[in-house]
Amino acid sequence: MILCRKITFYKTFNYTLKSLENTMLTKDIKIGLRVKVASNGLNAIVVGNPEYYTPNAKLVRIKYENSTRFEYMISKQLSALSLQDQYPALGGSFSKPEGHF
């Protein structure tokens, strides 16, 4: 039983490390950046500058795509989408599909 708990913890810890591999640095976070949220897998747009939370993590205000929901998310849980999936103002070629807000 104890061995099973250790294995489960190891798998969870390993998954956490893999999900944090592509995290962003606070200096790379810009308003209008499209990101993927690690905790739920949804795409979002950064709508606020990073705010102080701890020395190693900042709170970032995001808005989920095609939703009216805004949240504060810890910067370590965000990863930027590829450059081609960014808006033209940030060097990408993404244009919002018709009917999305």
Domain 22-90 sits in which CATH superfamily? Hemimethylated DNA-binding domain (2.30.30.390)
Per cent of the chain over pLDDT 70 is: 76
Confidence class for position 18, pLDDT limits 50, 70, 90: very low
Q: Is the pLDDT of residue 16 over 50?
A: no
* CB 33 within 8 Å of CB 50: no
> In this predicted structure, what is the pLDDT of residue 6?
44
Residues 6+ positions from 33 with CB-CB distance below 8 Å: 45, 46, 80, 86, 90
Q: Is the pLDDT of residue 3 over 70?
A: no
Angstrom distances, CA of residue 48 to CA of 9, 17, 71: 35, 26, 10
Which of residues 42 and 21 earns the better pLDDT score? Answer: 42
Query: Which of 12-16, 44-48, 66-70 shows the lowest per-residue confidence on average (mean pLDDT)?
Result: 12-16
Supply the pTM of this predicted model.
0.73
Confidence class for position 77, pLDDT limits 50, 70, 90: very high
